[in-house]
Structure 1
């Protein structure tokens, strides 16, 4: 009769153990409902699944996780600290973490390091190393670190871009990315002449461009419909010539202080501003402002339409060159960058002889004030100055003679920026149903804007002559930031990839998947993008 007692105790112990196990399981399930739920919402993004595609990706090891204790450790350099503060500014609102920027070295943290000896990284290349213990960004200079920060942003969940606190975890997949750009010129052009855009609107676009490693902002500052930069020696250019826009709106212009603020803001994002003063055509705003610039001595009315090719500076007049000298001198003095764009396209009202003579003098004036000329590819019909860049905007159907003219210039040392209108003009309609944009160059869907090779695009042009690519956005039908974003995105990231990524990574089928993953990021940033049916966007 004594045996059941030990059995009862054993059964009781087994029941207690089972209960304890069940309790632990319930507790574990409760924990799983918190952090792992967030983890399911923000899975670790595979290393290198970003836009533009990196040059080299070696995944491996556990991810790095940002925590409330994470610091941003920088070298003792103002340039590096500025990049660190920029990074902190991106991460703090969404993570809610303090993320102090410090020169103190410590365990873990995000480390920004300069290593001048790593020459293979060039001016803009970087290395990102992610492990459980630390995340290290290495470059030869601050520009490379800034490009690395854009990669880091894209490796984190898209919610990191929001300006309110979001649930984590905030993880970067383990491994190493080593990355350098294919081309040194990766540009975007914004036409502020057909419609005027404020300083804040330009800054917003600069921030969007920076995410995709664009390094040149080309501002089209003058055209028939408006003059957008103050020139002290010719004040009516801005006050009168800038007083309207396409459709007759109020227009506007940048004071010199406002222009410098745009340049400062872009420079903080390691982006060079290239100002364009279009000449000798596309000049009605100037001709309307000053009668003496016209051969007839009579000023035409201000123009609010969209036709091209009807205006021209008076090439024989001496005052024309006083005007050009003053404008270039003042704009060059404001602009720390290397380049000044002088337009030169669609000069249909200027004879060929006058065009050649004018461009010779205009290019000499640019050199006089310490800048290097960029012109549209019609410049190759004159004599491009030494070091000048020609920006090609032709189509697949451009005449063989015109393409041959550009090729000869390239063979003779003129380098090219490629902006083929039927590939990368962001103002072209996506389809016939696109509510904005033009279609004179055809419809340009996302695949068409991406699926071409700059090095092989123009017959007879040496690959070494390609300086890079640029995506222009003309503004005949574009008047708001929403308009800019709808037309630029998602085509702009593809152009950025053409400029940055090695040719070996070019693959539409793979790219469209990486691009689709940018959808939630663009939404988090408030970018009003076109949901192309060619891209497998995430549901929801």
Structure 2
């Protein structure tokens, strides 16, 4: 196979040995004397306050590597354990605290994710000042164990790691409206997020194609609005018990679930359930519908719309108690007058504030009166507009919709160039979700390793986005990617998104997420620029865990992946 990237360290002039085989790349790693062997039955010990975290780590290690560790309480053990876990702050000040915003609203120092990990000939030690920091350190250790396990024996090189995240918000948005993903699938996604130190799962719960959670005061939202999905895909919704299970599962893995109710556009499922909230039909809306584009928005001055918004956001706040933020959408309100759009966004934001939460909105929400309490999610990367709509032989943008409809779409896109500067001028922070580097529903550009995967690659991924390679989606920087941003200080965090127009099931979803999600973790956590030749060695080693967990992942033919274990 030509242009094969090998796992062998010597193929990269020694750079592979310079960094531990963990993703994201650690901030600081110094070699220690000797190495340490780990086998099933080795003891791991920590204080009782960390027992649940340690037990989950041991279960994950056994799943990923087959090595079964023996848990021993620190107060009851005799002799030195192979792995000791401690609350301690020694040496952690050498790594800066994260910048940005926490999705759970906690102070960055109270939710300190920094940790230390030391391996030498006497054993392994993991320490941090918070349980969350312990979880991050054990996650790195778990990756090192998985990448070096051979025939049930782990041989870990001596190293002292001190590590912490660049950004406090490191997220993934999953579209469950166009394709409904059940609780089991969402838990698998949470496991992927946790493995790569992503700490936010943003659920896009509502859109034109489906409404996915219960609002007691408006039962038809779930019963009628949730009955369908895109095309002939099965619908569904999360009961309140389902939501509670997802939130609890995520919280145990230090992932905050941020809910989104997309308004005032993307609301056809609302209108199907409650037609009295819908606008009058229009010729533009009829033309757009014929091309698969929905036009029609909620209006805060129409009928019971304000009551509807209050009830929906109150239900969200009650069902997602761990999130300090509620996403109110605000994007692609095609055909809505600017004043009406701004008024709606301002009403939604004020309602969120009244509930004691903060509002997130897509970048178009910056056209309303937002401020320092809000987070604006930047997604329309300017150079991608031509790629989204194509160009003819004369270089002119081709219109995929009738002229009347294209005029509405083009108007929204033209205004997008001022969104981020406007948000910054109003004091809001920016959540970086550029569609060029963080939209995981782009087609894969790399050729697949198998005929079957090549067939999937030709089908999955939005065709109006230019295909992207794994390398393109990891070798970039959030500051350089974001207009009007000159440093980390105004960035609240980064968040990838996977939209499900072409995703029909769990396998399609995972095919787009992996290996790309590892790169999202790299960009959100690590301050180091990523060198592809070094990164791909860590990435290939990471695939061992994907195989053992049965995740469906894309295998580029240009990378020499290890055999399934």
On whether the aligned pair clears a TM of 0.5, the verdict is: yes
Residue 142 of structure 2 corresponds to: 153
Residue 469 of structure 1 corresponds to: 494
Which structure has the larger Rg?
Answer: 1
- What pairs up with 1:107-122 in 2 under 5 angstroms? 107-115=80-88, 120=93, 122=97
Residue 419 of structure 2 corresponds to: 405
Q: How far, CA to CA, are the matches of 1:451 and 1:92 in structure 2?
A: 32
CA contact (8 A) 1:309 1:346 kept: no
Q: How far, CA to CA, are the matches of 1:439 and 1:187 in structure 2?
A: 24
CA contact (8 A) 2:299 2:340 kept: no
For 1:522, what is the secondary structure of its paired residue? helix
Deviation at 1:533, TM superposition (A): 4.0
Residue 366 of structure 1 corresponds to: 352
Residue 292 of structure 2 is aligned with which of 282, 292, 307? 307
Flag the 1:297–1:385 CA change in 2: closer, same or farther, 3 A.
farther
Flag the 1:157–1:362 CA change in 2: closer, same or farther, 3 A.
closer
Higher mean alpha-carbon deviation, 401-410 vs 112-121, is at: 112-121
Residue 209 of structure 1 corresponds to: 193
1:355 pairs with 2:341: yes
What's the TM-score, normalizing by structure 1? 0.84
CA deviation profile, 1:335-388 (whole Å, cap 9, x unmatched): 121111011111003211100011111000001111111111111111224321
In structure 1, the gaps of 5 or more residues are 1-43, 161-165
Flag the 1:199–1:411 CA change in 2: closer, same or farther, 3 A.
same
CA deviation profile, 1:121-170 (whole Å, cap 9, x unmatched): 6511110011222211111111111111211111113486xxxxx83212
Residue 459 of structure 1 corresponds to: 483
- What pairs up with 1:121-132 in 2 under 5 angstroms? 122=97, 123-132=112-121
For 1:127, what is the secondary structure of its paired residue? strand
1:238 pairs with 2:214: no
Residue 23 of structure 2 corresponds to: 51
CA contact (8 A) 1:223 1:284 kept: yes
Higher mean alpha-carbon deviation, 308-317 vs 142-151, is at: 308-317
CA contact (8 A) 2:61 2:146 kept: no
Flag the 1:247–1:204 CA change in 2: closer, same or farther, 3 A.
same
Deviation at 1:174, TM superposition (A): 1.1
Residue 340 of structure 1 corresponds to: 326
1:425 pairs with 2:405: no
For 1:200, what is the secondary structure of its paired residue? helix
For 1:472, what is the secondary structure of its paired residue? strand
- What pairs up with 1:81-100 in 2 under 5 angstroms? 81-92=51-62, 94-95=65-66, 97=68, 99-100=70-71
Higher mean alpha-carbon deviation, 191-200 vs 381-390, is at: 381-390
Flag the 1:307–1:140 CA change in 2: closer, same or farther, 3 A.
farther
**How many residue pairs are counted as aligned between the two chains?**
487
Residue 506 of structure 1 corresponds to: 530
Deviation at 1:470, TM superposition (A): 1.0
CA deviation profile, 1:9-30 (whole Å, cap 9, x unmatched): xxxxxxxxxxxxxxxxxxxxxx
Residue 399 of structure 2 corresponds to: none
Residue 12 of structure 2 corresponds to: none
For 2:333, what is the secondary structure of its paired residue? coil
Q: How far, CA to CA, are the matches of 1:445 and 1:68 in structure 2?
A: 38
CA deviation profile, 1:36-81 (whole Å, cap 9, x unmatched): xxxxxxxx9876222110000012222222245522211231xx11
Q: How far, CA to CA, are the matches of 1:136 and 1:307 in structure 2?
A: 56
Q: How far, CA to CA, are the matches of 2:296 and 2:230 in structure 1?
A: 16
CA contact (8 A) 1:447 1:534 kept: no
CA contact (8 A) 1:410 1:462 kept: no
CA contact (8 A) 1:244 1:304 kept: no
Deviation at 1:400, TM superposition (A): 8.1
Flag the 1:151–1:96 CA change in 2: closer, same or farther, 3 A.
closer
Deviation at 1:539, TM superposition (A): 7.0
Residue 436 of structure 1 corresponds to: 460
For 2:494, what is the secondary structure of its paired residue? strand
- What pairs up with 1:479-494 in 2 under 5 angstroms? 479-494=504-519
CA contact (8 A) 2:475 2:529 kept: no
Larger relative contact order, structure 1 or 2 (CA cutoff 8 Å, min sep 6): 2
Residue 379 of structure 2 is aligned with which of 393, 397, 403? 393
Deviation at 1:195, TM superposition (A): 0.5
Deviation at 1:510, TM superposition (A): 1.9
Deviation at 1:96, TM superposition (A): 5.6
Q: How far, CA to CA, are the matches of 1:266 and 1:45 in structure 2?
A: 33
1:138 pairs with 2:123: no
CA contact (8 A) 1:287 1:294 kept: yes
RMSD: 2.7
Residue 166 of structure 2 corresponds to: 182
Q: How far, CA to CA, are the matches of 1:97 and 1:538 in structure 2?
A: 22
Flag the 1:143–1:453 CA change in 2: closer, same or farther, 3 A.
same
1:528 pairs with 2:498: no
Deviation at 1:498, TM superposition (A): 0.5
Deviation at 1:495, TM superposition (A): 1.4
Deviation at 1:322, TM superposition (A): 0.3
CA deviation profile, 1:311-335 (whole Å, cap 9, x unmatched): 3113322510100000101110121
Q: How far, CA to CA, are the matches of 2:371 and 2:498 in structure 1?
A: 27
